[in-house]
């Protein structure tokens, strides 16, 4: 039996709405897919691939047998938010599946999604308050995936947990960064009800360092957990950056999400009728592509300075490592020109608004392992790409050095502007702010593994 690849709704249908792009895969289909699991004696999907330690072979066996209750019990024993990871995780477990050596990995992510949705449908997801209180309280700063995960972990140990969030609603990038067509925000609200029933308290519209001081928080609680992510986006400060129509990716994505959830009356940046150029080839760039298409952009192109990845796993990332290979998202399939090895030199404008980007082709020197090391411009390769909306999706640089919160807490920063925990003063940092920008599942794992 081969892996199932038909997982998306019809392209023409989905790019005209904001509903989740994946189709509902039936129980029978998933039961068939999980029979591909070989029940390996050494399951790399569990021991190496999954940061949360999900017991994937046992889950697969339960699904194959139609025992969805057992599958949920196994999944929820390690994963606090499978409804999130099953939608936005790149499935590190699948990359380390033994089938990857000579075939295609077992379908794990979609199976996890069906498990958790079945559990909610059948009423198995119930609050799990601690058996006893320990008499201590913790403040968690930030309600993104790492903060929520830390809150669940600490509440389970008997702490009274209050989560402080500067935005209107909880979720962090789950709510304000990842598009609704990948993660329906109603799922965050659904999980919030469970967390509140477990005794976790949320204080929103409250920025620690501005609305309340860090000192006040420390007096009020026995410990403080910092989970503020990496809010500083990487900019592209080349000539012409001051022109209108050039935006950081999250300005674009957050505005759309806030509009769809009713927080604002209209999105602040529209791609309708625009020639859109996305600079940056990662997941955030892909999210911009799908959002621009749904806005009704005249055209959408995405460029990346790195070389084009190989179609199949590169020798530099052998199994069971996460493979360097070309990835095509659902958004790319909806209509997008993609180019690699292009360095942006300057923005060109007309009447104060961007009209194009001058770029040049670059060639990369590779290490003996095949990894890109440095690039050089190809002589005579300069060209102009027309664009009247440019979206910068080049990742995040860390925690701002002038953060009032960081200053008030007196925390040290690494050279890469990641925060350093201070256990002696009962301050603990988790997620991206402690490790650098990374995956949602790694942020959740960081919160889960907090040592306090």
- Per DSSP, the residues of 249-308 read HHHHHHHHHHHHTTSSSS-SS--TT-EEEEE--SHHHHHHHHHHHHHT-SEEEEEESSPP
Q: What is the mean pLDDT of residues 433-447?
A: 97
DSSP 130: -
Question: Residue ranges of the domains in the chain?
Answer: 11-121, 137-231+397-448, 235-394
| E strand or H helix that includes residue 366 | strand 353-366
CA distance 75 to 54: 6
Cβ-based neighbours of 120, under 8 Å, separated by 6 or more: 83, 190
pLDDT of residue 39: 83
Confidence class of residue 148 from pLDDT cuts 50, 70 and 90?
A: very high
Rounded CA separation 226/265 (Å): 32
Answer whether residue 42 shows pLDDT above 90: no
Residue 354 three-state SS: strand
Query: Of 315, 290, 157, 159, which is closest to residue 224 (Cα–Cα)?
Result: 159
pLDDT score at 60: 96
Q: Which residues contact 131 (CB under 8 A, 6 or more apart)?
A: 158
Question: Once rounded to an integer, what is the mean pLDDT over residues 112-117?
Answer: 97
Q: Report angle CA 257, 431, 437 to the nearest 5 degrees.
A: 65
| pLDDT band at residue 401 under the 50/70/90 scheme | confident
Confidence (pLDDT) at 371: 86
Peptide bond into 320 cis (omega under 30): yes
Q: Give the residue-averaged pLDDT of 133-155.
A: 98
| Chain length of the chain | 452
Residue 360 CA to chain centroid, in angstroms?
Answer: 30
259-289 exposure pattern, b = at least 16 Cβ within 10 A, e = fewer: bbbeeeeebebbbeebbbbbbbbbbbbbbbb
Are the C-beta atoms of residues 332 and 289 closer than 8 Å to each other? yes
Angle (CA) 317 360 233, round 5°? 65
Crossing angle of helices 440-448 and 145-156, in 10° steps, is: 20
- What superfamily would CATH give domain 11-121? Alpha-helical ferredoxin (1.10.1060.10)
Using the 8-state DSSP alphabet, how is residue 148 labeled? Answer: H
Q: Which CATH architecture has domain 137-231+397-448?
A: 3-Layer(bba) Sandwich (3.50)
CATH class given for the domain over 235-394? alpha beta
Check for a shared fold between 137-231+397-448 and 235-394.
Answer: yes
Alpha-carbon distance 310 to 323, whole Å?
10
Arithmetic mean of pLDDT, 8-15: 98
Residue 231's pLDDT is what? 85
- Confirm if 137 and 160 have CB atoms less than 8 A apart: yes
CA 28 and chain centroid, separation: 29
pLDDT of residue 369: 80
Q: 264-283 pLDDT, tens per residue? A: 999 999 999 999 999 999 99
What is the predicted pLDDT for the residue at 342?
Answer: 98
Q: Which of 323, 304, 328 lies closest to 313, judged by CA?
A: 323
Residue 163's SS3 state is strand
Question: Average pLDDT, whole number, for the chain?
Answer: 96
Burial of 10 (0-12, 13-18, 19+ CB in 10 A): exposed
Q: What would the two tokens of residue 73 be?
A: 């019990």
Using alpha carbons only, how large is the chain's radius of gyration in Å? 23
């Amino acid at each position: 039996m081969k892996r199932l690849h038909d997982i998306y709704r019809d392209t023409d249908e989905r790019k005209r709405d904001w509903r989740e792009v994946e189709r509902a895969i039936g129980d029978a289909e998933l039961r068939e897919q999980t029979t591909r699991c070989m029940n390996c004696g050494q399951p790399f999907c569990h021991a190496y691939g999954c940061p949360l330690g999900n017991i994937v072979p046992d889950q697969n066996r339960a699904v194959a047998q139609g025992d969805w209750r057992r599958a949920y019990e196994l999944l929820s024993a390690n994963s606090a938010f499978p409804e999130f990871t099953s939608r936005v995780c790149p499935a590190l477990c699948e990359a380390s599946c033994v089938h990857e050596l000579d075939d295609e990995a077992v379908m794990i992510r979609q199976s996890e999604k069906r498990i958790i949705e079945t559990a909610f449908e059948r009423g198995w997801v119930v609050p799990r308050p601690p058996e006893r209180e320990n008499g201590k309280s913790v403040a968690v700063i930030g309600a993104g995936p790492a903060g929520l995960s830390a809150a669940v972990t600490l509440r389970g140990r008997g702490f009274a947990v209050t989560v402080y969030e500067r935005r209107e609603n909880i979720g962090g990038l789950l709510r304000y960064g990842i598009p609704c067509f990948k993660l329906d925000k109603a799922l965050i609200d659904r999980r919030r009800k469970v967390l509140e029933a477990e005794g976790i308290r949320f204080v929103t519209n409250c920025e620690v360092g501005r609305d309340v001081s860090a000192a006040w928080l420390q007096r009020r609680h026995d410990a403080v957990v910092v989970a503020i992510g990496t809010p500083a986006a990487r900019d592209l400060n080349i000539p012409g950056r001051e022109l209108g129509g050039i935006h950081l990716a999250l300005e674009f994505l957050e505005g759309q999400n806030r509009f769809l959830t009713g927080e604002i009356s209209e999105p602040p940046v529209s791609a309708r009728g625009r020639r859109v150029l996305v600079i940056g080839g990662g997941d955030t760039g892909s999210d911009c592509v799908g959002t621009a298409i749904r806005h009704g952009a005249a055209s959408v192109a995405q460029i990346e300075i790195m070389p084009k990845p190989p179609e199949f796993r590169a020798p530099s990332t052998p199994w069971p490592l996460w493979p360097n290979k070309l990835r095509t998202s659902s958004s790319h399939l909806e209509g997008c020109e993609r180019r690699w090895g292009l360095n942006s030199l300057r923005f060109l404008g007309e009447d104060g608004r961007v009209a194009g980007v001058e770029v040049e082709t670059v060639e990369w020197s590779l290490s003996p392992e095949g990894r890109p090391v440095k690039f050089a411009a190809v002589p005579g390769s300069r060209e102009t790409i027309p664009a009247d909306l440019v979206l910068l999706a080049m990742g995040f640089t860390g925690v701002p050095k002038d953060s009032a919160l960081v200053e008030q807490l007196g925390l040290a920063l690494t050279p890469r502007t990641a925060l350093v925990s201070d256990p002696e003063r009962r301050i603990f940092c988790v997620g991206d702010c402690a490790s650098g920008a990374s995956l949602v599942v790694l942020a959740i794992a960081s919160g889960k593994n907090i040592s306090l």
